[in-house]
Structure 1
Amino acid sequence: MAQLLTGITARTVATDRLTVNVLEIGGRSGTPVVFVHGNVSSSLFWQQAMLDLPPAYRPLAVDLRGFGDTDPLPVDATRGVRDYSDDVAGVVEALGLGPVHLVGWSMGGGVVLQLLRDFAGSVRTVTLMNPVSPYGFGGTRGVDGELLDEAGTGAGGGAANPDFVRLLREGDRSADSPLSPRQVMLSFYVKPPFKPSLADVFVESMLSTRIGDDHYPGDMVPSSGWPGVAPGGRGVLNTMAPTHFRLDDLHTITPKPPIRWIRGADDQIVSDTSVFDLANLGALGALPDWPGARTHPPQPMIAQTRAVLDRYAAEGGTYDEVVIDDAGHSPHLEKPAEFNTALREILAKG
């Protein structure tokens, strides 16, 4: 497979749930580190980070269902991200890995937190990189994730840009449109003007995303509230809707492995002023008829994550926050040395 870097191998792992594509370093053993990718991507984004780990670690990167080369089973969003986290747990069990280090990026951060929530005893450490808020993406206000309305209006499958979805479906590899996968990656996955050397590989990774109501972006239902769409029960974006995904009880788990939260200082995707948050777009005048900041303020994603992790620490856990300057949504690509140092430090604690 031309998209694999030298030293990286791919194989399929049959679990009792589905067959999962897993990247590894050929012949490597050691303490397992499981990498979980984000939305509209795949395990291919993790290759260099895997190669950068010392020989004492065995890195594995999984493709979530509907991404990469894993079975494209439908996603039941009413379970939040548990279809994904249970799939990852199934790989850990099928390979007999025992307790593992977990590394999750963006949506994958929510997946590893859910896995931690449900299977705390199987986790050595957790590394979150620019993770989705523990209250999901869109449809909430305040640090405690208060719903904008009971329907979760403003989140879910209807929040995706239809032109981006169309270009994904069409397999667009060009840079002709600002909403092409390539341009979205160069504008938002990383901080411009940074251009990844593996940009072509990453575009192919993005294009592996299955499209439709059962996959990306998912279904939606009309809502009488602004901006007129609420989460459905199927597909990717609905797994992160606040009506389906909430981790405000993370502090109740036992044991509590150490958590490191790594984020790019200039992330535009997961931010207190995210350019993908419909409420923030309304505040910026990019969506009409915004009701105003009193009822529909931008979602404070960073503040929400910090509040949940503070409670985790107050109840006996530990976490720290590492902010990488001059990086956007993908510090592992933009600042690999800084990311690798931060990752090694947390792995050493487990």
Structure 2
Amino acid sequence: MITLLPGIVARRVPTERLTANVLEVDGRTGTPVLFVHGNVSSSLFWQRTMLDLPEGYRPLAVDLRGFGDTDPLPVDATRGLRDHAEDVVALVRALDLGSPHLVGWSMGGGVVLRILRADPTAVRTATLVNPVSPYGFGGTRGVDGEPLGPAGLGAGGGAANPDFVRLLAAGDRSDDSPLSPRQVLLSYYVKPPLRPADLEVLVESMLSTRTGEDHYPGDLVAARDWPGVAAGGRGVLNSMAPNHFRIDDLHTISPKPPICWIRGADDQIVSDASVFDLAFLGSVGALPDWPGAGTHPPQPMVAQTRAVLERYARAGGTFDEVVFPDTGHSPHLERPAEFVAALREILAKG
């Protein structure tokens, strides 16, 4: 199947860490804008956005390790997305991009946060699109990200739905199951009943995800306390567990590049009521024996992100929050013209 849209070209770029697959707009020069995809996807999700950026910008999109056509090196989850972040930085150096604008969606937002925290001089502006919370995905409560228990309780590889993982690993392209990649995309990546442009390409992108303990979802660790799982040390979901990934001190960096936080108001994935958060599923009766909101409330993912960004602003940084109504997890797919307009505003600040 042809997955590249007209005007988009791909190449594999050797770096000091791995060989990364990169998409570009053919012949485009200008200020680099580097797009970082989310979990169970690839650079292919950014093609329309790349083509819609005006002249004067050089759009690039990278496949993270274990996705698309980048080398499928294992993910050390204990480094909390540092494997992915350092791969992106190595690509920036290999291509001599200087300090590009960074745009990260979902897990890619966490990768951008990790790069920003490590070296703010490497980032011209940061755009976070429905990003994973700075306190990770799952296993925390309250706006300050208090852990539900020790060692990433309630988060990590064991939080993935095994039927979805099975169908993903099998390369299922059907709509036979509500847990097929196609149906998960149509139910959760975008707000129904939208059918995004290039749907078949997006499904192929999801199916490029490497599965297993070193990739998606990662290894599973049993826990005695509810919900019975905790974060392991390998793979993608574990790398976003709160005991491995936590960026609550973003306000301490200097300099402080401009940040834009773009999100869909009806996101079901990164939400204060995420259907992928085991504590939320317990609260609505989808998982048995929920201990209750006193100890295991749903993770307030949006509120946590806002709290971290507000501290950043009080310490001298700036951030804009752009909320698209009637929009799910993928504003760049659901509202492409408005998304590019918002993106152009933040790019102009750098």
Deviation string, structure 1 residues 229-276 (Cα, Å, up to 9, x no partner): 000000000010000000001111111000000000110000000000
Amino acid across the alignment from 1:344? R
Paired residue secondary structure (1:124) = coil
Q: Within the alignment, does 1:40 sit opposite 2:58 as a pair?
A: no
Which residue number in structure 2 is paired with residue 258 of structure 1? 258
Look up the match of 1:246.
246
Matched, 1:113 2:113: yes
Aligned-partner Cα distance in 1 for 2:129–2:309 = 14
Give structure 1 regions of 4+ aligned residues with deviation exceeding 2 angstroms. Answer: none
Match of 1:298 in 2: 298
Q: Output one character per residue of 1:35-83: Cα deviation in whole Å (capped at 9) or x when no partner.
A: 0000000000000000000110000000000000000000000000000
Residues in 2 aligned to 1:220 and 1:248: alpha-carbon distance in whole angstroms: 26
- 1:326, distance to aligned residue in structure 2 (A): 1.1
**Per-residue CA shift, 1:100-125, capped at 9, x if unaligned?**
10000000000001001112101110
Is the counterpart of residue 175 in structure 1 residue 169 in structure 2? no
The one-letter amino acid paired with 1:41 is S
Distance 1:314 1:179 in 2: 42
- Indicate whether 1:343 and 2:343 are aligned: yes
- Measure, in 2, the Cα distance between the counterparts of 1:312 and 1:220: 34
Take 1:230 and 1:197, find their aligned partners in 2: how far apart are those partners? 37
Is 1:228 the equivalent of 2:228? Answer: yes
Give the Cα separation in 1 of the matches to 2:125 and 2:342: 13
Q: Which residue of 2 aligns with 1:4?
A: 4
Q: Which residue of 2 aligns with 1:142?
A: 142
For 1:98, the equivalent position in structure 2 comes to 98
What's 1:270 paired with? 270
Q: Which residue of 2 aligns with 1:71?
A: 71
One-letter code aligned to 1:188: Y
Aligned-pair CA distance for 1:2: 1.2
Q: What residue ranges of structure 1 are gaps of 5+ in the alignment?
A: none
Specify the code of the residue in structure 1 equivalent to 2:135: Y
| Aligned partner letter, 2:143 | V
Matching of residue 80 in structure 1 with residue 80 in structure 2 = yes
Q: Distance in 2 between matches of 1:280 and 1:221?
A: 20
Partner secondary structure for residue 125 of structure 2: strand
Contact 2:197 2:333 in 1 (8 A): no
AA at the equivalent of 2:315: E
Counterpart in 1 of 2:190? Answer: 190
Which secondary structure does the structure 1 equivalent of 2:124 belong to?
Answer: strand
Q: 3-state SS of the aligned residue for 1:262?
A: strand
Report the residue type matching 1:287 in the other structure: L
Deviation at 1:220, TM superposition (A): 1.7
Cα deviation code 1:5-25 (max 9, x no counterpart): 110000011000000000001
Q: Which amino acid aligns with 1:283?
A: S
Q: CA deviation at 1:221?
A: 1.1
| Separation (CA, whole Å) in 1 of partners of 2:150 and 2:161 | 23
User: What's the CA shift for 1:197?
Assistant: 2.2
Amino acid at match of 1:28: R
Cα distance in 1 for partners of 2:239, 2:152 equals 12
Kindly tell me the number of residue pairs found equivalent between the two proteins: 350
Q: TM-score when scaled to structure 2? A: 0.99
Letter in 1 for 2:45: F
AA partner of residue 333 (structure 1): L
TM-score in terms of structure 1 length:
0.99
Match of 1:53 in 2: 53
User: Per-residue displacement from partner, 1:285-305 (whole Å, max 9, x unpaired)?
Assistant: 000000000000000000000
CA contact 2:38–2:107 (8 Å) conserved in 1? yes
CA RMSD for the aligned pairs? 0.6
Paired residue secondary structure (1:260):
strand
Matched-pair contact (CA < 8 Å) for 2:331–2:339: yes
Could you list the runs of 5+ residues in structure 2 that have no partner in the other structure?
none
